[in-house]
Amino acid sequence: MSDFSGKVALVTGASRGLGAAVAEIFAQRGASVFGVARDEERLTSTFDAIPGGKFAAADIATPDACRDVVQRCVDEFGRLDVLVNVAGAHKMRHTAEVTDEEWAGDLAVNLNAPFFLSRAALPHLLEAGGNIVNVASIAGTEGQAYSAGYCAAKHGLIGLTRALAVEYTADKLRVNVVCPGGMLTDQVTNFSVPDNPNFDLIMRAASLRGLMEPSDVARVIAFLASDDASAINGAVYMADNGKTAG
């Protein structure tokens, strides 16, 4: 089992779903956890169960907000060893009806925020010999109907992961990405579809084995962030119940 004693992890999207599961498993394995999400009430509820954990309610779609939360984490704990970019958003829309603002919003939370956070965290991670784990999606490796912005952003996040992994190969920094399939989270169980959808197209994204628990994917993330994965850099890990296997 991965041991994070003495290490500090910053986890985005930590108020619910996969982000909360990641924060919990890192804390259980000894890390000091700094959680970030927009919903302060749910963050408070999540971190009531995380001894010693700290959090900040913030919208990380802007560079300034990302710099601020990284600095607050370092100010609180004195270091940063792991950045886990979990926060994301997915709303299905007919592509022809996507507005400029909706397109920009898809990229802001799913791609821009991980870049801004990584950029702000790099000096601290390099000093600590730490790592970044990004959370993309199976939508980052294949097309999904009514999801042009989400797919584009998640494909981009995989590219960002690989670019950073190559750029910092000679340094003590690893960067990997996990691509989950469907999980039992609010984003999946309460998803809405556009008017007059083709459900055959939508169901192409489903695994025959059904939805996973967030903790199933959180354990994969914890492994990649741990010293047990010291030889893994620039990897794209599929955690999708076999959806993309064939």
Given the residues 146, 150, 168, 237, select the one marked as catalytic. Answer: 150
Q: Give the total residue count for the chain.
A: 246
Amino acid at residue number 187? Q
Active site residue 146: no
Terminal Cα-to-Cα distance of the chain (whole angstroms): 30
Contact predicate 25/97, CB 8 Å: no
Q: Which residues are catalytic?
A: 150
